[in-house]
Structure 1
Amino acid sequence: MIAITFLLLANVVKGQVGDSTIVSPVKDKKKYAFYPVVAYSPESKLNLGAIAFVVLDHEKKGGTSEFYRPTSITPYVVFTTNKQILVKSEFDFFFKSGINLNFISRIYKYPDSYYGVGNDTDPEAYERYGNNYIQLVGQALKPLNSKVFYGLTFDLQYNDIQPDDGGMLEIQNPIGVSGGRNVGIGPAANYDSRNSTLYPTAGMLFKSSIGLYGRAIGGEYNYVTYNFDFRNYFELLGPKNILAYQFRANFITGDDVPFYKLNVMAGDNYLRGFDHRNVYMDRQSMYFQVEGRQDLFWRLGGVLFAGAGQVFDTFSELNAEDVRFVYGFGGRFQAMKDQKLNLRMDVGFTDNGQYAFYLSVREAF
């Protein structure tokens, strides 16, 4: 599947809908590209659809600042052989004042899988259930200086859950089995010294936020989330070889959190290789991953990655014997000639014999 997709992209790039540059006195540049999608993931199986890449540059006369940040938009629509419909757009706006508005919008008709809760669930024992939902999640940040941003995080989500009669969800009856509204808002702060938001090769990013979910602001559940994300990037043996690593921790307090909002450690941006992102979920999660990135030729690149993590209910349950490990490799295709915005394809393997394929936009971290 990976080889087929690369061949498809290689042919499409010659006749892509757009890869244009519009130059004005203030050096505003607008670049865009459009591609069909043929992909595979463990959650959705075969994917067919389309994806677009839009990058807006607003360079100032006389050059850019040390940590110049372009605006990027990546919408896509996908239909899967698992009878899923995914409409998703990622937005990362940087205004001339330095204000950053980054968010993801999702509209999913998404038959999903439930494996239970905890770090020792059985990947072979699960229930397929209906999970149709819409979501708007992101941050609105104001710069304190060129590296420090502060502001608000927000999450608006509505789920329509349709469990099977007599299935695991009905028997275990976790919180949230009837779906409903999740509304959260809270403080956020980022430190960002990366030399690029699209494909960083130097610098670090530290993101932190607290999400307050409650009925008082329109939701149906009361709980608090704490999120920490640290990333570092540097050259290794030359500018075409980049080493990146990430440590991420997500915690939840409160007993009124729906099961579909519990933390996970698997997925295309997390530990890649598990049969499904929901195989291991719980109130707390921590993981570490490292990735070596190599430019190859033309617009193609390759990566090697590895990671380790764990989900748990309370810190007393932390146990080195329960840590899960992954490793894998992947390919990269630069969607635009002059912008390092990649479409990526990865295959990951786990310590318990699972493996998974992924196709996504941007780097995993």
Structure 2
Amino acid sequence: MRNSLFTIALLFLALVSKGQESDSAKNTTKKFAIYPALAYSPESKLNIGAIAFIVLDRPTSQSGYYRPTSITPYLVFTTNKQILFKSEFDFYTKRGINIGLISRLYKYPDSYYGIGNDTSPDSTERYDNNYLQLEGRVLKPHNANLFYGLVYDIQFNDIMPIEGGMLDADDPNGVHGGRNIGIGPAASYDSRNSTLYPTEGKYITASINLYSKAIGSQFNYVKYSFDFRHYFELLGPKNILAYQFKADLSSGTDIPFYKLNFMGGDNRLRGFDHQNLYRDRQSMYFQVEARQELFWRFGGVIFAGVGEVFDTFSNFNTDNVRFVYGLGGRFQAIKDKKLNIRADLGFSDNGQYGVYLSVREAF
């Protein structure tokens, strides 16, 4: 985000801190590293926390591809009495069943810009948005590459809009938060040679998530997601080109504003002022990234992407497509595993920029 020193300071400490690694003697090999985090940002003041990386290698009987279990928890406390916790779990059982889970616990200020593809970064409102989310999947292998199963999303939001502010005036659906519970079918095709740092292969996944009051949700709507990724060597084994096309679509009018689809953030089109800047019922984007190993455990990337949010397909207009580009650095958190800490600097077509720090590759 603009003017955020947090991401830069966190990356610096991660690079200079010493990680801890350990191996087990049996069939499962364990790798572990932890890095402290200390930073400052105007919004949250002093930040203190840590990032951990855990990788478990276990042979799977139904897969000829490298699919380790990985866990990356991240926890930060601030002197503004804010909490940010995020953890990504990507489990593979001995039989190849994939259990994915992203958990988020935010007690953090958020930003509202309005809805649509033409909102302005200069017209915004800060508001309190405390929420808990558990989002994941359970997929069973049909063969070495094809998986099928379920996706789910459980999210609780407590929002306090400012009286007389933008949220109060617009009064969008879900203005005070609420409970979103969704579940639905999913299928994926995965021929990547690694889930941590793929250098060849494809990843294709499609899912339908049904949010319904019949299963405890306060809102009724449906979300559809399609994700296509391709990885291959460009100039040699140390230079990889990756590209992604993703469509997040929705049907129904009972969608809370904070669950509308978006195209910004640390994994999507990096370069917008805030991931909430462009939100609407539909979102489509394409991004490409060239990844280069440099020296020791360092690497670098350059990336670009285009995308748009819109209400219905009749509103989609190529003249409104947004464009981003940027570059970033990578640091291999665990010596023998390609699980990276990444810092990216992205720029957008309308003069915005964003600084991002995260773990794993963007896609």
Separation in structure 2 between the aligned mates of residue 45 and residue 113 of structure 1, nearest angstrom: 17
Which residue is equivalent to 1:152?
150
Deviation at 1:320, TM superposition (A): 1.2
Task: Give the SS at the match of 2:193.
Answer: coil
Deviation at 1:92, TM superposition (A): 0.4
The Cα offsets for residues 71-112 of structure 1, whole Å up to 9 and x where unpaired, read as: 000111023577641111110000001111001111110210
Task: Give the SS at the match of 1:111.
Answer: strand
CA gap 1:4/1:218 in 2 versus in 1, 3 angstroms: closer
The Cα offsets for residues 255-308 of structure 1, whole Å up to 9 and x where unpaired, read as: 000000000000000000111000000000000000000000010000000000
- The question of whether the paired residues in 1 share the 8 Å contact of 2:11 and 2:341 is answered with no
Deviation at 1:36, TM superposition (A): 1.3
CA gap 1:109/1:3 in 2 versus in 1, 3 angstroms: closer
CA gap 1:345/1:98 in 2 versus in 1, 3 angstroms: same
- The question of whether the paired residues in 1 share the 8 Å contact of 2:63 and 2:96 is answered with no
Which residue is equivalent to 1:69?
67
The Cα offsets for residues 198-220 of structure 1, whole Å up to 9 and x where unpaired, read as: 00000000011000001000010
Which residue is equivalent to 1:49?
49
Alignment of 1:1-365 (within 5 A): 5=10, 7-13=12-18, 16=19, 18-24=20-26, 27-38=27-38, 47-59=47-59, 65-80=63-78, 84-365=82-363
Question: Counterpart amino acid of 1:246?
Answer: Q
TM-score (norm 2): 0.94
CA gap 1:112/1:136 in 2 versus in 1, 3 angstroms: same
RMSD: 2.0
- The question of whether the paired residues in 2 share the 8 Å contact of 1:43 and 1:275 is answered with no
Deviation at 1:8, TM superposition (A): 2.8
Separation in structure 1 between the aligned mates of residue 248 and residue 60 of structure 2, nearest angstrom: 38
- The question of whether the paired residues in 1 share the 8 Å contact of 2:279 and 2:309 is answered with yes
Separation in structure 1 between the aligned mates of residue 202 and residue 41 of structure 2, nearest angstrom: 29
Unaligned runs of 5+ in 1: none
CA gap 1:31/1:347 in 2 versus in 1, 3 angstroms: same
Stretches of 4+ moved more than 6 A in 1?
A: 39-46
Separation in structure 2 between the aligned mates of residue 277 and residue 33 of structure 1, nearest angstrom: 29
Unaligned runs of 5+ in 2: none
Separation in structure 2 between the aligned mates of residue 50 and residue 312 of structure 1, nearest angstrom: 38
Q: Report percent identity of matched pairs.
A: 66
CA gap 1:43/1:261 in 2 versus in 1, 3 angstroms: farther
The Cα offsets for residues 132-160 of structure 1, whole Å up to 9 and x where unpaired, read as: 00010010000000100000000011000
TM-score (norm 1): 0.94
